[in-house]
Chains A and B, each alone.
Chain A
Amino acid sequence: MKNLKPFLKVLLGVVILIVLGYFIFTAGQI
């Protein structure tokens, strides 16, 4: 349980990276 907060933060970071990645990926498709 003591690592729950950092784990959730890392998870949030990964989600943000995936979402940002989608925008960049789409730009590369044009």
Chain B
Amino acid sequence: MINIKDLKDKIKKLHYFHYICVGITIFFVVCSIFVFPSAFVRIKESFVDLWNSLKFYVRELLYLDYDVDISVNENSVVPFTPFFNLPATFEEFEIKWQEYWQIWKTEENLQAYFSYLGKILFNVSRIVMLVVIPLLIVLYMLFQRYLSTQNNDFNKDSNVLKKFKKFSEKTYIPIKKWCLSFIDFVKQNNKYFKLWLFIWAYNFNVVTIIIEFLAFYLYFVMSFEFASVYKQFYKLFCDLSVPLAFIPPFAWFIVLYLFICWLRKKIGYARLNHMENKDCGFINERPIVVMAVGTMGKKKTTKITDMALSQEKMFRDEAFKRMLKNDMKFPYFPWINLENTIKYAMSQHIVYNLATIRVFIEYLENCFYFSIEHKKNKPMVKCLKRHLKKKYKINFQNFLFDYDYEKYGFTYDDKLAVVDIWQVIKTYAQLYFIYIIQSSLIIANYSIRTDAIMSSVGNFPVWDSDFFKRDSKIIDSISRHAHIIDFDALRLGKKMIEDNAKKDSFEFGVVLVTEIGKERKNNLELQEKKKNEFLANQKNDGFNDYLKMCRHSATVDNFPFIKFITDEQRPESWGADARDLCEIVYIRETSDIKLAMPFFSLTELLYSWIFDKFSSLYYQYRFTRSDNTLFMYLYKKVVSVLYNYYHRIYNTFGYCKLDVDVENGTQDGQRLERKYYLMSKKIYSKRFSTDCFSDFFTTKSLRSSLGLNDLEEYKTEKATFEELQQQNSYFVNDLMNKKNNVEKE
């Protein structure tokens, strides 16, 4: 029973936006009845057509015998005039078609067209002459007037600006606020928007067109009557004549602009994804250890960060693909039971790396075989079951996750070898572990932000690793950061801290080391170091041995889930023993930022013209005055809208191309020329700090009591002896010593 009082209370509590939305809906419905009465007739006809075509379809499909009226090929009773006056029959169309080309090639038609264009241009130039040019002249004069008077009224608003601000506070700002909150409300209650969209789709015969298409499809697939296709085009043109006649020409320009915006963004995203796929291909071609080399500012740290982000995504994708491959070996295995068991074991920290997961599965395997061997000893089997339930929350009918192996099989033969279910479970469990780790798979000596999102409703989780469509406002809430590298975990020999708890913690992932040469050094720099020193050093820590063997700890299903990416300014800075293992990627050239989104040239021209003018005028103004005037306030506002739009587009769709050469670490092979793409949205979205070691230099600078301004200057263009001595230079000291020796002699 609906309580009327409750209903009234509910209505009273409704936000007043609901009433506005209902009012808009009623207005649209009234429009449908009085402005678009033909829409109802057409939708009725389309349903009749669909029903008749369906009857025809069934009759022809099942060889039945009953009469059907094929109404889909008949004209509507509504007296439409199709746009372009499309003829009703194909015969008439053929005549008109020939007539069209006759007219098309006549000189008179061309002249008429150019005279029509001339009229349009005349109207445009009239507006320019009457409005735009006088406005520009007034603005120019106004600006000259502003520049002619100097002042030091720091941040003081002019009287006109004060009045304008007051006026806008009472009119523009509240209206804008209200509109934005209403749009927000409609977005949250999207049922209204969907309803409005449906009403206008009905008014403009869009619903009719869809139903008519279905009706014709059902008729055509059973008749293949090509002659009837033209009639459908005619009917389509008739139906489309309603929106074409209703929407005014200027609104069509807005529709066209919105369509171009949508299309260019779609193309832009497709191009970015294509470049990302190319980058993934480049990374996959490389061996486990990669070293990027380039001089300062060549974007080598940016490049290795970008590679690590793609590699992390690829590891998850690879684990996902391989899980499916193993799933298909035993299609009736209840994988969700295994997954839930792993998840529980992970939550209890019983399973926390690949080794523990292998041990865990082997333990369950032993329990299974124990239960088979002691099948008759029911109390013992029950006891084991109780133990598994208590400790691991494993509560299944059998000891194989409820898999009926007697019915569906225990082994699988892929014609290479026969594997049993427990081997596949072990592989699957490791892949699942790699897949569901929610923290970053990157371990680095500098911080990197990752923002892949794992979605789960308690079943199989799905990762969203899109780099290009993340909302910049929410990235802080979804971000994770790279793990802090502990080099002891990468040492097989001596450790810096012998009882380091993390010394055996690393198994798989993306290891990222920037400036590897400064960490590992080369043979020349390590001459003083000895292998038999008590403390760990680059010669006795077994780092290079680890590098040679790292794939063994990270291989699952014959795939190594490890990548070691480094960078340095010159390859020789890293010792040859380790360097020989890797491929060196030389960054030869970095292009300027380009745009992946097409059809942006007009905005680019406008931006360039307006912003160049603005920047020169703005600093002239800033030089002369320091007060705020209405003119500069509005001018800056308008330019800032264009500026922000332009830069947001470039930040979303911008990319730069790196020309790279790839060479073996032994540096005796041929260099391969390759391309690598750095997409702004992916790599510059708070990913890493380019000055990752700046804190060290900050501390150093804070120690100093002098700044650049306090340093002494040369008195003239020629340095004196005293000035040279202030350099504390080896070279100058040598010269001074030589000078003294000469003087003594």
Residues of A with Cβ closer than 8 Å to B?
A: 2-3, 5-7, 9-10, 13, 18, 21-23, 25-30
Contacts and interface: CB of A to CB of B under 8 A. Distances in A.
Contact of B113 (A3, A6, A25): A25
Given A18-B117, A21-B117, A26 B605 contact: no
Contacts, number: 48
A30 B100 contact: yes
Interface in B88-119: 96, 99-100, 103-104, 109-110, 112-113, 116-117
Contact of B602 (A2, A10, A22, A29): A10
Given A7-B605, A26-B104, 6 more contacts: A3-B608, A6-B608, A13-B601, A22-B113, A26-B109, A30-B96
B604 A3 contact: yes
Contacts of A28: 84
A26 to B, nearest CB: 5
Chain B interface size band reads 20 to 34
B377 interface: no
Nearest to A29: B103
A6 B113 CA distance: 27
Contacts of B112: 25, 29
A6 B604 contact: yes
Contacts of A21: 113, 117
A-B pairs, top 5 by smallest CB distance, nearest first, are A6-B601, A9-B601, A6-B604, A26-B104, A25-B113
A5 B116 CA distance: 30
B709 interface: no
A2 B611 CA distance: 14
B84 A27 contact: yes
A30 to B, nearest CB: 6
B459 interface: no
A27 B100 contact: yes
Nearest to A2: B608
A9 B605 CA distance: 10
19 contacts: A2-B608, A3-B604, A3-B608, A3-B609, A6-B602, A6-B604, A6-B608, A13-B601, A18-B117, A23-B104, A25-B109, A25-B112, A26-B104, A26-B109, A26-B113, A27-B84, A29-B112, A30-B85, A30-B103
Contacts of A3: 604-605, 608-609
Interface of A is mostly: helix
B264 to A, nearest CB: 12
Given A3-B604, A6-B604, A10-B601, A25 B96 contact: no
A12 B134 CA distance: 30
A29 B110 CA distance: 11
Contacts of B605: 3, 6-7, 10
A3 B603 CA distance: 11
Contacts of A26: 100, 103-104, 109, 113
A5 B96 CA distance: 41
Contacts of A27: 84, 100
A26 B619 CA distance: 52
Interface in B595-614: 599, 601-602, 604-605, 608-609
B113 to A, nearest CB: 5
- Of A5, A18, A26, chain B has the most CB atoms within 10 Å of the CB of A26
Contacts of A22: 104, 110, 113
Contacts of B104: 22-23, 26
Interface string B8-28: 000000000000000000000
Interface string B248-291: 00000000000000000000000000000000000000000000
A22 B103 CA distance: 11
Contacts of B609: 3
Contacts of A23: 104
B719 to A, nearest CB: 41
B367 to A, nearest CB: 70
Interface string B154-181: 0000000000000000000000000000
